[in-house]
Amino acid sequence: MSFSSAPVSGRATALVVAPFLVLALLYACLRMPELPAAFFRSKELGANATEIVAPKDELEAALEGVSMDNRTLIITVLNKVYVEENAMLDLFLQSLREGEDTQFLIRHVLFVAVDERAFNRCRSLDLHCYKLVTDGVDFSKEVFYMSKGFNDMMWRRTLFLGDVLRRGYSFIFTDMDVMWLRNPFQKLHHEGEDLQMSCDFFYGNPLNNSNINTGFYFANPNNKTIALFDEWYASRNDSERLKDQDVLQRMMRGGGFERLGLRVRFLETRYFSGFCQMSKDFREVVTIHANCCVRMKVKIIDLRNVLESWKMNNWNRTANATWPPVKGICLHGPSPKH
């Protein structure tokens, strides 16, 4: 079984026993001759009919186990490189543990592992893990920005996330190089938005912004977002090797959002910020993404500094943020280089 839920034994037992109890009850109480007969007959029909009696598939079980009551969850993707000791996964979890009102969110994160090592490490940490199997593709090497491997992984995740929407779940997708300092759900809007996207640079209009960043966004499941994800995935072009983010941005600039009738809100970098444009307020910042930065090692160094700096300054409620006093490698201090 690829999905492991966090606290094991009690719940696992309940999960195993419950279906039998239900069946026993059905059989004993209802005693309608048609019901058990129909049940067994459907089994005898062979391969096609097994769907009728088969248990929920793994993804459905995973989503159910992780999501909040309102079918909302957080999704992130991890590979072998992210799960090394003191690498991105540890830092990501540290931010969730040390952020304000974020610790409880860990049990609502689905960690989608794209290789065996990531999956095993994920399970050893008692997280909610799901193994995304892709035939013949090995995502386990460090995937450099814009390399073929990087691209394939991004596209596989687009396909996967469309599937989650089709199953009626809303989610925040987050890259793992995003520090969660506050509970983002409290800063998201609830005015019928279909999609709420973070940006590298925010220019002041939450309804129209020239750029997006697919490393952090919230999606609501409905026909319009499902259509968007279908179209997005269909627009990938293996020979052209565009990043999924670039393809979505191209769709957006070509009026694709309006054509699909999507209500999209662009998230202000005051709250949902990144190295491209850091939040200027320690008291307001919700997330910090290591965007505008390429190498994993560099991201980790700068993000770790940023997290420490936020923790210190958040305690004494410093309003005017000056990020790490030590100049970072990707991070350029209080006035970010564009």
Ligand X SMILES: *[C@@H]1O[C@H](CO)[C@@H](O)[C@H](O)[C@H]1NC(C)=O
**Of residues 24, 35, 53, 319, which one binds ligand X by CB under 6 A?**
319
Query: Of 12-20, 76-84, 150-158, 318-326, which part binds ligand X (CB under 6 A)?
Result: 318-326
# residues near ligand X by CB under 6 A: 18
Residue 318 found at the interface with ligand X (CB under 6 A): yes
Q: In whole angstroms, what is the distance from residue 323 CA to residue 4 CA?
A: 38
**Of residues 4, 5, 72, 277, which one binds ligand X by CB under 6 A?**
72
Supply the DSSP string of 15-82, one letter for each residue. Answer: HHHHHHHHHHHIIIII--THHHHHHHHHHHT-GGGHHHHSPPPHHHHHHHHHS-TTSEEEEEEE-TTT
Query: Of 4-12, 66-74, 115-123, 153-161, which part binds ligand X (CB under 6 A)?
Result: 66-74
Q: In whole angstroms, what is the distance from residue 287 CA to residue 96 CA?
A: 10
Q: Which two tokens stand for residue 233?
A: 């995935």
Which of 70/335 has CB closer to ligand X? 70
Interface of this chain with ligand X, residues 208 to 267, rule: CB under 6 A = 208, 223, 237, 239-240, 258
Residue 201 found at the interface with ligand X (CB under 6 A): no
Is the distance from CB of 161 to CB of 75 less than 8 angstroms?
yes
Residue 50 found at the interface with ligand X (CB under 6 A): no
Q: How wide is the angle at C-alpha 48 spanned by C-alphas 45 and 52, nearest 5°?
A: 80
Of 17, 177, 159, which is closest to residue 93 (Cα–Cα)?
177
Residue 86 found at the interface with ligand X (CB under 6 A): no
Residue 335 found at the interface with ligand X (CB under 6 A): no
**Of residues 39, 150, 185, 233, which one binds ligand X by CB under 6 A?**
185
What are the two backbone dihedrals, phi and then psi, of residue 229, each rounded to the nearest 5 degrees?
-65, -35
Burial level of 190, CB count in 10 A (0-12/13-18/19+)?
exposed
User: Least distance to ligand X from the beta carbon of 6, Å?
Assistant: 18
Q: Which two tokens stand for residue 41?
A: 């007959």
Query: Of 19-27, 81-89, 129-137, 316-324, which part binds ligand X (CB under 6 A)?
Result: 316-324
Residues that bind ligand X (CB under 6 A): 48, 68, 70, 72, 170, 185, 208, 223, 237, 239-240, 258, 312-313, 316, 318-320
